[in-house]
A and B are shown apart, each in its own frame.
Chain A
C-alpha cells in the first residue's frame, strides 16, 4: 500500500507552512502533506529574532530596498528575483498581520519598524525580539484552519524518488515506529532550512543538517553558491546563541578590549552616539565578522575560555529600552551567560548563522528536476548573493514559500500520476535503511566523533577567511570522513524513536553538503561578500560575476559549473558603507 499526495512539502518551518497555506488557498482540491522531522512549531524559524524587512514607510521606496539587498549581496543576487521579492514582501508581512502575528506597534496602532544592518531605511517589522517565534506559531496555528493540510510530524525523509527526469515521491521514516513508507507525489517542495551544523560553532539548532540540500543534490539537482556562508557577528561564546542584530539597531556598540568602537577602523563610518543607517554597527554582517578577525590579529580582542571575543555594549540603552525592544536578549544573557546586559558587557564572537547557497531554483522555486521545488534557506533563488542582509530571510521564506507552493500546485494539477517504476527505487531505499544502517556491524568510529571532525575541518578550511591550500586539505579530509562514516558504529538497533539512526542519516547529509561548500569555495578564486580568499583578495567580476552550480556525479564526485547573474538596473558597483 503506497500513500499518495498531490504535493509533499518537506519541512514545516516558515517556508513550508506558508507553502501549505498557499496551496490550500489556491487549489483546495489538491491533497497536500507536510513531512517534518520535528513538530512544525519546533522548526528553526522559531529562533529568528530581529525582524522581517518590507517597505512600508512613506519615506521608503522599493528601489531602495532592492539596492540595499543587491549591494549587500556584493552584486551576486539576481536582480529580477530581488525586485520580485521586495515588491511582494510587504503584502506577505501584512498577511501575517491579518493572521494574527503580534507585530510591535506604534502608539497609534500602526506597524512599527526598526533599522537593520545594511539597510538605508527603517523597514524591519518586528515582534519585539522573538519575531521568528511569533511568525512560526502564527503560521502553524493558521494552518490548523485547513484540515485538508495533512501533517506527518516526526517523519524523516530519506530519499527523493526521481524517474524520467521528474520527481514522483519520497521515502520517509516515521520516528515513533521506525517504519519506512513510500509516499507517491506529483510534486515535492523542499523547505528544510539551512545546514549550520556542518560547523562547530553556530546559531543553528541541532536539526539544521542540510537534509533538503542533500536530498536534491543526490537526486541530481545542482546546489548553487554553496561557498557563501554567513557568520553573524554577535553570538554568545560556548553556546553560539544568537544575540540579534536588533541589539545594535536599537543602539548597541561593538567595542574591543580597550573599550574602543573598532569598526571605525574598517571603512564602516565614524562612531556617533546614536545609530546611523548603513554605518558602523549597522554595517552588513560579512564586513562586521571580517573586522572581528582583523581585530583579533591585532591582539585587541578579549581572551576567554571559549576563545576570543569582543564586547557588545548595551548598558547605555537602559532597562526600559532593553525590556521593551530586546527582552529575549536580556533573558538569553541572564539564563545562558549569567550576565545582565543592563549593567554588564556582553561577550560576543562571530558565529555561523546562515547559508546564502542552497538548492538551485528559479523565481518560482522550481529546480531543474520537474516537479521538484525548494524555498527558504534550503533554496538559492538567489536574492542573497554573496551576503544576506539581516531581516531579509523571514520575508524570503514567506514570498518564495508562497511562490513555490503555488507553482507546485499548478504543476501537480496537470502532472501525470506517479509511475510504478519508482517502487523499485523505494524498496532499495527500504533495504538500505534496514540492512546498511540498522544491521551494520560495529565499526571503529562513533557518529559524534566523525561529526566533530567534520566540523573542525569546516572551521579550519571554510571559515571567515579561506585560502586554496586549506580548502584543498579540507576537501581531502572530508572524503576520508565520508569513507569512515559509511562504517560508523550504531549502538542503537531498535526501531522505536531511534535518534542515533537519524543522527547517522543527518551526518551523511552534512558530509555531502560540506563537500559542496568546500569544492565551490576552492573553485571561486576571488573575494566577494562572505567568501574571502586571502590568496585572491579582490572581487573579480570578469571571471566570477556568476553563480556556482555544483552537481553530484554518478561516481560521487562534484562537478562545478557557472551560470550568469541577472542584472536589470543596477550595474556592479562598489559596496559603500558609512559614507
Chain B
C-alpha cells in the first residue's frame, strides 16, 4: 500500500478565472480517511483557498455531496482506500451552477420544496391537550423511508432529466411530497395533486432510476415517483368519472 494518494480537485474561482480547472494534491492515504478527510488535509495544511461545504461528517447533515470519480457521493462516507491507487477525482455535484470550487448553488431545490406543501395539511387541527394523533407502526412504515431524505442533492445530481430540464421538480421534492401524502395524519394529498401532476411534476420522470441508486440513505425516490404516477392516473380517471364532491 502506498502511503499517499493523489487527489485531482476541480477548482473554480470566479473572481480570477472564467472556467474550472483541475488541481492536484498529494494527501496521506490512511485506512480510515474519507475523501472529506483528504480535502480537510489540503485545506488545513496545503491550500487554504480550496472551498467546499461540510459539517457533521457522519452522513446525516447532507452538506458534503460532491462528485467522486464521476459518481455523486457524500464525501464523509466515501473512503480514500476505495479509490486506490488513485488518483481520486473530486468535482462539484453535476446539474447545479457552481459557485466556487466544489460549492454548488442549490437555491432551486429550496424554491421548489415549499410548492409541494411539505408539512402536515389538515382541515381541522386538534389542540395538543387532546394528545397525539394515533399512528400504528404499520401506518408509519407507509411513509417512513421517504422521511429519511437528508436533502443532500445527490439524486438531483444523478438525475438525467433534471440535467436537461431544470424545471423538473426532481426526485427529492417528489419523495418529500409523498412522505406527507402517505402519512395517516395528513389530509393534503388533493392540494399537492396539481403540482405533482404538472408536466414538470412526476410525468417529467422517464424512470431511469439513477436517483434511487445515488441515494445514500436508502430512500427510493424513483419508487415514489412511479407510485405517484399510478395515484395521479387514478385521480384523473376519478376526476373524469365522478362529480368533484365524491373524489
**Which A residues have a C-beta under 8 Å from some C-beta of B?**
38-39, 41-44, 46-47, 91, 94-95, 97-100, 102-105, 107-111, 130, 133-134, 137, 141-142, 144-145, 147, 153, 176, 205-207, 238-239, 241-242, 328, 331-332, 335-336, 446-448, 489-492, 494-500
Chain A residue numbers with a CB within 8 Å of B99 are 176, 496-497
Q: For B186, list chain A residues within 8 Å (CB).
A: 100
Residue in chain A with minimal CB distance to B186: A100
Contact A137 B58 (CB under 8 A): no
Q: In the bound complex, what is the Cα–Cα distance between A44 and B49 (angstroms)?
A: 25
Q: Given A105, A448, A490, A497, which contacts B44 in the complex, CB threshold below 8 Å?
A: A448
Q: Which residues of B contact A107 (CB under 8 A)?
A: 136-137
13 further A-B pairs in the complex, CB-CB below 8 A; given A492-B51, A496-B99: A42-B63, A99-B120, A100-B186, A107-B137, A130-B148, A142-B120, A144-B114, A335-B59, A446-B45, A448-B43, A448-B44, A490-B48, A492-B49
Bound complex: CA A142 to CA B144 (Å): 17
Contact A111 B132 (CB under 8 A): yes
Residue of B whose beta carbon sits closest to that of A97: B132
Contact at B55–A141, with CB atoms within 8 Å? no
CB of B52 closer than 8 Å to a CB of A? yes
If the complex has contacts A102-B147, A144-B118, A446-B48, are A44 and B55 also in contact, measured as CB distance less than 8 A? yes
CB distance from B27 to the nearest CB of A (A): 14
Residues of A close to B13: CB separation below 8 A: 494, 496
Contacts of B63 in A (CB 8 A): 38, 42
B185–A336 contact, CB under 8 A?
no
Q: How far is the CA of A336 from the CA of B79 in the complex (A)?
A: 9
CB distance from B195 to the nearest CB of A (A): 14
- From A110, A111, A206, A448, residue with most partner B Cβ within 10 Å: A206
Report the separation of the CA atoms of residues A247 and B146 in the bound assembly, to the nearest whole angstrom: 25
Q: Please, how many angstroms separate the alpha-carbon atoms of A176 and B183 in the complex?
A: 36
Smallest Cβ distance from A405 to chain B, in angstroms?
17
Asked whether, in the complex, the Cβ of B47 is within 8 Å of the Cβ of A491, the reply is yes
- Any chain A CB within 8 A of the CB of B56? yes
Contact status B134-A46, CB under 8 Å: no
Neighbouring A residues of B149 by C-beta, 8 Å: 137
- The CA-CA distance from A499 to B131 in the complex, in Å, is 46
Q: Does B60 contact A (CB under 8 A)?
A: yes
Contact of B61 among A47, A95, A336 (CB under 8 A): A47
Q: Are A110 and B118 in contact (CB under 8 A)?
A: no
**What is the 8 Å Cβ interface bit string for chain B, positions 63-74, against chain A (1 contact, 0 not)?**
100000000000
The list of the 4 closest CB pairs from A to B, nearest first, reads A109-B134, A448-B44, A491-B48, A94-B128
User: In the complex, what residue of chain B is closest to A111 when comparing beta carbons?
Assistant: B132
A selection of 30 A-B contacts at a CB cut-off of 8 Å is A39-B151, A41-B62, A42-B56, A42-B62, A42-B63, A47-B61, A98-B125, A98-B132, A98-B185, A103-B132, A104-B137, A105-B136, A109-B135, A110-B134, A137-B151, A141-B113, A176-B99, A176-B105, A207-B55, A332-B58, A332-B59, A336-B58, A446-B48, A448-B43, A494-B13, A496-B15, A497-B51, A497-B103, A499-B53, A500-B43
A144 contact set on B, CB distance < 8 A: 113-114, 118-119
Q: Are B110 and A153 in contact (CB under 8 A)?
A: yes
Chain A residues in 8 Å Cβ range of B32? 238-239, 336
Kindly state the separation between the CA atoms of A548 and B87 in the bound complex, as whole angstroms. 53
- Would you give the 0/1 interface string for B123-134, flagging 1 where the beta carbon is closer than 8 Å to chain A? 001101001111
* Most A-side CB within 10 Å, residue of B16, B56, B148: B56
Q: Which residues of B contact A447 (CB under 8 A)?
A: 44, 48
CB distance from A336 to the nearest CB of B (A): 7
Which residues from chain A contact B106 at a C-beta distance below 8 Å? 39
Instruction: Please report the C-alpha to C-alpha distance between residue A44 and residue B55 in the assembled complex, in whole angstroms.
Output: 8
Given contacts A144-B119, A145-B119, contact A206 B57 (CB under 8 A): yes
Which residue of B has the minimal Cβ distance to A306? B32
Shortest beta-carbon distance from B95 to chain A in Å: 18
Cα distance A352–B59 in the bound complex, in angstroms: 19
CA distance A328 to B143 in the complex (A): 18
**Which of A104, A137, A491 lies at the interface centre, i.e. has the most chain B CB atoms within 10 A of its CB?**
A137
Q: In whole angstroms, how far apart are the Cα atoms of A222 and B53 in the complex?
A: 32
Q: Which residues of the partner chain A approach B131 to less than 8 Å between Cβ atoms?
A: 94
Contact partner of A47 (CB less than 8 A), chosen from B49, B58, B132, is B58
A91 pairs with B58, CB closer than 8 A: no
What's the nearest-Cβ distance from chain A to residue B25, in Å? 13
Using known A-B contacts A144-B114, A446-B48, determine if residue A44 contacts B56 with beta carbons closer than 8 Å: yes
Chain B contacts for A242, CB-based, 8 A: 58
| Cβ contacts under 8 Å, A335 to chain B | 59, 77
Bound Cα distance from A99 to B143, whole angstroms: 15
Write out the residue numbers on chain B whose beta carbons fall within 8 Å of the beta carbon of A328: 60
- Distance in angstroms from A198 CB to nearest chain B CB is 16
Verify B60–A46 contact, CB threshold 8 A. Answer: yes
Nearest B residue to A133 via CB reads B60
CB–CB B134/A98 < 8 A = no
B180 interfacial by beta-carbon distance below 8 Å: yes
Of A109, A206, A331, A500, which is within 8 A of B55 by CB?
A: A206
Which of B53, B62, B119 is A141 in contact with, Cβ under 8 Å? B119
What residues of chain B lie closer than 8 Å to A108, measured between beta carbons? 134, 136
- Which of A111, A205, A490, A491 is the one whose CB lies under 8 Å from B57? A205
Contacting residues, chain A, for B147 (C-beta < 8 A) = 102, 134, 137
Whether a CB of chain A sits under 8 angstroms from the CB of B54 is yes
Q: In the bound complex, how far is the Cα of B63 from the Cα of A153, in angstroms?
A: 13
Residues from chain B with a CB closer than 8 A to the CB of A41 are 61-62, 150-151
Residues of A near B80 (CB, < 8 A) are none
Per the bound structure, the CA–CA distance linking A395 and B43 in Å amounts to: 37
Closest to A103 in B: B132
Determine the chain A residues whose CB is within 8 A of the CB of B113 once the complex forms: 141, 144
With A137-B147, A499-B51 already in contact, the answer to whether A100 and B185 are too (CB < 8 A) is yes
B163 contacts A by Cβ under 8 Å? no
Q: Does B14 contact A (CB under 8 A)?
A: yes
Q: A44-B56, A47-B56 are in contact. Are A500 and B49 (CB under 8 A)?
A: yes
Give min CB distance, A183 to chain B, whole Å: 20
| Contact assessment for A46 and B128 in the assembled complex, using a CB-CB cutoff below 8 Å | no
In the complex with contacts A94-B128, A144-B118, A498-B61 CB distance below 8 A: no
- In the complex, residue of chain B having the shortest beta-carbon distance to the beta carbon of A451: B44
Contact B119 A91 (CB under 8 A): no
Query: How far apart are B98's CB and chain A's nearest CB, in angstroms?
Result: 10
